Amino acid sequence: MKFSVTVTLKKSVLDPQGKVVQQTLQNMGMDYLVNLRQGKYFEIEVKENDETKAKEKIEDMCKKLLINLVIEDFKITKI
Q: Around Cβ 18, how many Cβ atoms within 10 Å?
A: 16
* Beta carbon nearer to other proteins, 31 or 64: 64
Phi, psi at 62, each rounded to 5°: -60, -50
For β-strands 72-78 and 39-45, DSSP reports them as unpaired
Tell me which residues touch other proteins (CB under 8 A).
13-14, 16-17, 20, 65-66, 68, 70-71
For the bound state, the minimum distance from the C-beta of residue 8 to other proteins, rounded and expressed in Å, comes to 13
CB of 51 to other proteins, least distance (A): 26
Q: Shortest approach of other proteins to residue 25 CB, angstroms?
A: 16
Spatial distance between the Cα atoms of 79 and 41, rounded to a whole number of angstroms: 13
